[in-house]
Structure formats: C-alpha cells, structure tokens
Amino acid sequence: MLLGAHVSTAGGMPNAVASGLEFRCEAIQVFTRNQRQWTPRPLDPEKTRVFRAEAKKAGYLEHAVSHASYLINLCATDRAVLDKSRAAFIDEIERCAALGIPYLCVHPGAHVGAGEQAGLKTIAASAKECLAATRGKRVTILLENTAGQGTTLGDRFEQLAELMQRIGSKRVGVCLDTCHMFAAGYDLRTKKAYEATMAKSIAVLDCDAIRAFHLNDSQHPLGSHRDRHEHIGQGEIGPAGFEALVTDPRFADRPGLLETPGGPDGYKDNLARLRKMQGR
C-alpha cells in the first residue's frame, strides 16, 4: 500500500505537495475548495500550474485524491440543496481535472427520511448528471463507505455496489474507510477478521473497484455506527487489522490515506507505525 495522509492546502495548492514531502507521503489527499462555502473562489491559475508540476515531480499525480465538500448531499430532499450539491460536485470534478488529480472521494449522501431506495436512486441520478456534465474529464469519483449514522447511505458494501451498478460508468469506484467499516459492523480486529471482511468486500464490490483507503482507527466499538477516528493501533480496531491491510498484496498500488485526529501533529507517528508494519 502507498502510505500517505490528508494534507493542508492552506496558503495555496502547492503547499499540499510540500506537506506531503515533509511527511514522506507516497500519496496525498486534499481539499480543493473551502469546505464551508457553496461557491468558493476559483483556482489560481499560476498556483494550479505549480501544483501540477510539483505533484508530478513528487510522484503524487497518479494516486492523488481530493475529498469533496461535506456540504454536498447527492440525495438531498430539498430541491435547492440538491441543485447546489450537484453544482458543487461538478465544480469539484472540474477542479480535480484542472489540477491533474485523478480521484474525487465523496460521501454518498443522507436520505433525510425519504428511505433507502429513494436515496440510492437520487444519488445515482446525481452522479450520472455530474459525470455527464464533465464528460471527457479524467477524474474518477470514489464513493466512500460510511459509518451508517442517522440516514446516511453507503455503510453496506451492497449499497455501494448498487450505486455503482445504477451509475453504470467506468468513472466510478470506491474508497473504503477503516473506521467507517468497523463502525458499520465489519470486523477488522484480527488478521482472520480482516480476511473475512475483505473477502466480502471483494465479492460484493470487485477488487478493481476499490481504488483507495482511508486509514483510521475507531474510538467506538464494532457496529456502533459512530464516526470517530482514532490514531492507528490505539483504538477499538487495534494494530493487527492495519498490518494485514497495509501488507495485503492485492492493494499494493492503492493509496492508504490517514485522517487521524490532530492532523499533521499525529501523522509522523501514525505513518511510522504503518511503515513498521510493512517492515520498513
């Protein structure tokens, strides 16, 4: 697995590359826009050019991931929110294309009482509309599994598989978050548990569809449906599952990205633990 982290773009996109290099990341994840605004400022053309050049030099462009705004709900029941979500998601895809980032990770959405099937149908329709609006852009959207809090969708592998089938595009894949998997009831605490969970994920989703991982331990027990990240090996999952994952040859070329508490302050220690698991 290619180990990395979600790095800051404060001060401009090129700073994300510098942060990645500081932590010796092999892959990076970024936000390309302000997460608290529906209509953020446009990308700076010069900083975009520098980011592409520096990220290519660092070897990040092939595996870089952008995380879409948390404001986006692709199955919102309020039409105004749904329209804003779709417009923002199109903007996210276009930003990734401009920056040369190949993957855009998004939480599928929350049905807000409309029901699972209605929500899945709307998410698929939203994704299809956004992909059609960005036809020709070399950006793959990654549906992220969720912890299943409230009415959020995507906590089951079967829901993610159904969404991919409904969307029906080669430009869609999956990003699996370890904390979310565990919170949703998929055990990762031992090598045996890891193997069983991953066998199910591959049977339902197909290995090629799993393009990236978020590496986070969990503060809460198995099946809690609570999304609270913990440092690697220090939560309810523990070290065994992470060692099995980061040494799994099936995912040797996939980015594994930290989103652990405290951000950069804890990255060095967490990356050191993961590298030790890989024997380096």
Residue 280's pLDDT is 84
Residue 116's pLDDT is 97
CA 98, CA 74: separation in Å to the nearest integer?
Answer: 23
Residue 242's pLDDT is 98
Residue 230's pLDDT is 98
Residue 152's pLDDT is 98
Task: Give yes or no: 214 in active site.
Answer: yes
CA 225, CA 222: separation in Å to the nearest integer?
Answer: 8
Q: Residue 143's closest CA among 151, 3, 156, 129? A: 156
Residue 260's pLDDT is 97
Task: Give yes or no: 63 in active site.
Answer: no
Q: Which residues contact 235 (CB under 8 A, 6 or more apart)?
A: 179, 217, 218, 219, 229
Question: Do residues 78 and 113 lie in contact, with contact meaning Cβ atoms separated by under 8 Å?
Answer: no
DSSP state of 100: T
CA 106, CA 213: separation in Å to the nearest integer?
Answer: 13
> In which residue ranges of the chain is pLDDT below 50?
none
Q: Select which of 33, 111, 214, 254 is catalytic.
A: 214
* Two structure tokens written together for 151: 């009415």
Q: Select which of 91, 227, 236, 243 is catalytic.
A: 227
Tokens 């992220």 sit at which residue?
Answer: 144
Bridge partners, residue 172, by sequence: 141
Q: Select which of 54, 177, 236, 243 is catalytic.
A: 177
Residue 153's pLDDT is 98
Sign of the torsion formed by the C-alpha atoms of 42, 35, 271 and 244: negative
End-to-end CA distance of the chain: 12
Q: In the chain, what are the domains? A: 2-277 (3.20.20.150)
Crossing angle for the helix pair 79-99 and 45-58, nearest 10 degrees?
Answer: 60
